[in-house]
Every structure is written in structure tokens, then in C-alpha cells.
Structure 1
């Protein structure tokens, strides 16, 4: 770990189970983890390994069964549902595999859905320019490719200038060339806004662009690797 960096997320003994008795599913098994601020962190592992469960807990979307999770000096695992809502609104942006855009709204209007409730938002046109869609602001989702729709979703997430951007399989529905474009956008968000970016993926090659790679298996962290020779997303093999 880079000693000089403040810690954005710290988990200790983080556990998540579903069900009871013989049907109990152990999604997380006592995870201890520190994630420094300002990094691009890739969480790798097969389906069911626990990576998305961790993302959902530190993103304030799910609760832990045991253990603690902190964001800076805030204990997420002790927050009420209303406090978690404020945390998500003030600090967090989400990008998912499926874009969840409103089909009846233009790209600008989709981004405005977030800027209207954010405390210190970017101008929607600036957010779209950040993801390379300055010329597409008045287009509807049906008029855009899958990669362009995903970039609108990223613009919507970053328009509130979040401290953290959570991305769950953001390139899962995209071809290789479009996927690299989306990863380049995430790199730009990290560099230009200083947001900590957490990317959940099963695509091991994505790790090449990360500052830190966390390997999950069976609800545990198997390995954490610091990457001292990051690749430009455009050079990533698919």
C-alpha cells in the first residue's frame, strides 16, 4: 500500500450471508480491505465470488451481516437508510452494465436528472463533453450506439462530481473497441475529477489499467496487487 495516500474505504471482517441453515450462501467471508483515495481499483473474480456484493455494501446499496465498512471517517455499516441515501447522493456515482437511460429523454436531459438533485453539479453539457459526447447532447438513446449510451450513463454518474465512481461490469455488453473507449472515459474521470474509481469485472485484461487489482474467490480476497506499470486503456487486449 502507498503509505502517503488517505484511505477512501476500509473494511474489517466484512461478512454477508443470505438465507439460513443448509441453504445459507456466504457472499463475503470476513473481508479486510483498504482502498486508497484517487485510485482506479479493479475487482476481479468469477460470478458469485463476492466482488459485486462488496461494491454494493460500500456503495450504500446493501447491508452487511457482520463487520464494518468505513468511507473516510463515516461508518457505513452503522448508518440508517436515510443516512445511506444522503451518502449516495453526496458522494457516489454508479455505472452498471445496462445503461438505464430514460428513452424519452435526450442525452442532456438524462444527465439533468442527476444535476437537479446534486449539491455541486457540473453543467450537463460539460459532463457530456468529458465523455466525448459534446455533439450528441440532443440525441435520444435510440439514436446512439451501445457505447455512446454507456458514456451518457457515465456522464450522468459523474455530473454530480462524486468522490467515488462505482462501475459494475461497465463494458460487459460492449465489443472490444467500444469497451476500450469506455475504459478510457473512466480513466479520464479519475484523472480530471480525482474520483476514486472501483470497477467490478470478470475481464482480467482490464486489470492492466488499474492502480490496484483485487482478486476475489468464494467470498474472500485471494490477492491484492499494486500495478506500477499501468497501460493506456487503448492498449488493453480484449
Structure 2
């Protein structure tokens, strides 16, 4: 990895002076402190940093789940920071997929039915079976979450997010509850989603080794961007060593 630049792509996100403060007065917590960055469309980006560095706060604002205190965020030609709650809801439904550390699957529904929850409200979704095939679960369509391993449950969660054909996929510690081998398989699925669908994939993690699979690595500390690096030769997820 080195600091540098590839042929520039259009930014999916352009962030300028982004600040987020929780609370007021002496109890105020400055989660983001004037963040400036671009996230190019179609890249796989890793946000690195310790707990409390501001990574998840940034994801919540980029994903339309929270509002900034100050600053500006543009998503292509739209200004997210100027949207009201109804507009942000439409943005999330239309353009954004989320994958979290915990799978949030409905235990009474099969893998196929969990994915169908999203396809029923999306405007141009993938067929649930097609989405599950993308994450390698063709043989597990009719299994319930309790019949699936942790890695398989996370892949169902990824399929559910991908089925709506999101422009951007946000993943907050997607391997945090998994062992190393299973974690690698989930990261490989995210690489495949990026290359096969063209979605911008943003992975939040504290595992520094994950940086090797990214196009771009954004290193966070104390609510600020400490460094942005570009991988000239990224590796496959299977090659990552924790």
C-alpha cells in the first residue's frame, strides 16, 4: 500500500467539513471533527480505526441514518445534508444497503423469505434466489437462521442488502462476530459483490489486515481522517492474515 492516486473516478460521496457533536456544554462529545474526504464510485473502501474514532458515526451520516451538526455531504449530485427525514428515507430505500455485525434475521423466516422482506419494497430488486446465489447459498434457500452457521447467516444478511440493487453497500464490522476463516469467506463475498454488481462497498473495521483487500483505505482517529491510502495491488480476501 502507498499514498497515491489511480485514474480518478466520479465521487459517490464528497464530504466537506463534516462535524458531529453529541450533547452540549461540558458533556458534549465530538464524534467527527471537520472531516474532508471523497469516496469514488465503484470502489471497495475500508474505514480503519479504533472504537470511538468516529467510523460508525460517519457511516450513519453517509447512510442517511443520522444528521450532521455541521458540514456537507454530497451523494453524486444530491446533497444529503440538505435532505429532510422523508427524503433520507427515500434515499436509503433507493440507494443504500446495510450489513451489520449482528445479522438481524427474522428467525421464523427462511433465508429466501428474509431476503424477500427487502425485495417486496424495492423498485427493481434481484430475485431472492439470485441474490442468495450471489453469496453462495443456493443450497440453503429454505433453511431457517437456526439451521445456518454464523457465516451463512451473515451471507443471508448480505444477500438481503444486495437484493435491492443498492448503489452503495455499508458494512459495519461485518466479521466482528465471526472466526478468522469464516470472516475471510464473508469478506470474499463482499469483494464479489463489489466486482459483480459495481456497487460502492464501504467496510468499517478495526482489523488492520482487512486494508489489503481495499481499493482505498481511510484511517480514522479521534474523529478525524489521519491518512488516506490507495492500494495499487490489492489482495483477495482469502490471502488476508489476521
Task: Tell me the TM-score normalized by structure 1.
Answer: 0.99
Residue number among 95, 98, 103 corresponding to 2:99 in the alignment? 95
* Superposition RMSD in Å: 0.6
> How far is 1:4 from its partner?
3.3
> What residue number does 1:71 align with?
75
Q: With structure 2 as the length reference, what TM-score do the two structures score?
A: 0.97
State yes or no: 1:19 paired with 2:23: yes
Provide the C-alpha distance between the structure 2 equivalents of 1:15 and 1:121, rounded to a whole number of angstroms: 34
The one of 56, 62, 65 aligned to 1:58 = 62
5 Å-filtered alignment, 1:108-187, equals 108-187=112-191
The answer for unaligned runs of 5 or more in structure 1 is none
Counterparts of 1:91 and 1:3, CA distance in 2 = 25
The runs of at least 4 aligned residues of structure 1 exceeding 6 Å deviation read none
Shift, 1:53, TM fit: 0.5
**Aligned partners of 1:203, 1:217: CA distance in 2, in Å?**
14
Of residues 220, 226, 233, the one that matches 2:230 is 226
- Mapping of 1:193-204 within 5 angstroms? 193-204=197-208
- CA offsets, 1:121-172, max 9 Å, x none? 0000000000000000000000000000000000000001100000000000
3-state SS of the aligned residue for 1:12? Answer: strand
Q: Alpha-carbon deviations, 1:44-99, whole Å to 9, x = none?
A: 00001011110100000010000001100110001010000000000000000000
Partner of 1:45: 49
What is the CA distance between 1:3 and its match in structure 2?
A: 4.7
C-alpha separation in 1, matches of 2:207 and 2:6: 25
The number of equivalent residue pairs is 238
